[in-house]
């Protein structure tokens, strides 16, 4: 069994308009590790997550998820191991419950079952009342959207989670709730971007991009 959830090996990436963002970049994350990616604005934190998701292909180097090389043949299967919340989640149309149920209608998720009890428990752990389920997604605040996106990702029971600034729109109390929930997910590998000193303080490991 591979104990590595993620490995980036000799990554080189330069966008057309600039100097290389990554040059011989290497990273290994073990299964069950919770890692925070930190670094100045423009240092490539979001790009790093997008590389790991296969949204951006490096110019050189290889990425392994669960020991399997990420490439055009494996990307769809590997994405089923991954949950992702972007910095500003787009929740589509309809109510929050429509949004949370939607992935369960996809063939790729046919092994998963929507559980309202689990939804209510997760909402409560993140400080959201279950009445939020009836609200239209367009009426949610940025911080509510972030937490709903986290609930949606966790419902799909993936092995590896990438969260891009999951607490950036949250007040202190909600932020603490998110961090407490992450700390309970000790079997999951969690990689998240944050600038927040409090998040960095509570991190198991911080990767700082220059």
Ligand X SMILES: Nc1ncnc2c1ncn2[C@@H]1O[C@H](COP(=O)(O)OP(=O)(O)OP(=O)(O)O)[C@@H](O)[C@H]1O
Q: Of the two residues 17 and 113, which places its CB atom closer to ligand X in the complex? A: 17
Q: What is the side-by-side order of every strand in the sheet holding 22-30? A: 22-30, 4-13, 60-65, 68-69
Give the 3-state secondary structure of residue 17.
Answer: coil
- Shortest separation between residue 151's beta carbon and ligand X, angstroms: 23
Among 5, 6, 21, 91, binds ligand X (CB under 6 A): 21
Assess contact for 170 and 143: CB atoms under 8 A: yes
- Shortest separation between residue 169's beta carbon and ligand X, angstroms: 13
Q: Of the two residues 48 and 123, which places its CB atom closer to ligand X in the complex? A: 48
Q: Of the two residues 123 and 199, which places its CB atom closer to ligand X in the complex? A: 199
The sign of the CA dihedral 32, 142, 117, 109 is negative
Stretch that binds ligand X, among 41-49, 141-149, 166-174, 196-204 (CB under 6 A): 41-49
When asked if residue 47 is in the footprint of ligand X (CB under 6 A), the reply is yes
How long is the chain? 210
Q: Of the two residues 49 and 151, which places its CB atom closer to ligand X in the complex? A: 49
Q: For the stretch 180-194, what's the b/e string if a residue is b when 16 or more beta carbons lie within 10 angstroms of its beta carbon?
A: ebbeeeeebbbbbbb
Which residues of the chain form contacts with ligand X (CB under 6 A)? 15, 17, 21, 39, 41-47
């Amino acid at each position: 069994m591979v104990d590595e959830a993620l490995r980036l090996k000799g990554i080189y990436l330069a966008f057309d308009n600039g100097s290389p963002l990554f040059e011989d970049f290497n990273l290994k994350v073990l299964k069950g590790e919770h890692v925070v990616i930190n670094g100045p604005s423009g240092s490539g934190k979001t790009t790093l997550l997008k590389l790991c998701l296969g949204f951006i292909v490096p110019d050189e180097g290889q990425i392994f998820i669960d020991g399997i090389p990420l490439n055009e043949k494996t990307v769809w299967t590997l994405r089923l191991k991954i949950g992702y919340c972007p910095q500003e989640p787009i929740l589509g149309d309809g109510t929050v419950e429509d949004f949370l149920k939607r992935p369960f209608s996809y063939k790729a998720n046919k092994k998963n079952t929507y559980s309202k009890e689990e939804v209510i428990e997760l909402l409560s752990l993140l400080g959201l009342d279950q009445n939020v389920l009836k609200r239209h997604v367009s009426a949610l605040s940025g911080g509510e959207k972030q937490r709903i996106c986290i609930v949606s990702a966790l419902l799909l029971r993936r092995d590896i989670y990438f969260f891009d600034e999951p607490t950036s729109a949250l007040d202190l109390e909600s932020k603490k709730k998110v961090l407490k929930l992450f700390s309970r997910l000790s079997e999951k590998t969690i990689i998240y971007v944050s600038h927040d000193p409090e998040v960095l303080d509570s991190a198991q490991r911080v990767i700082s991009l220059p």
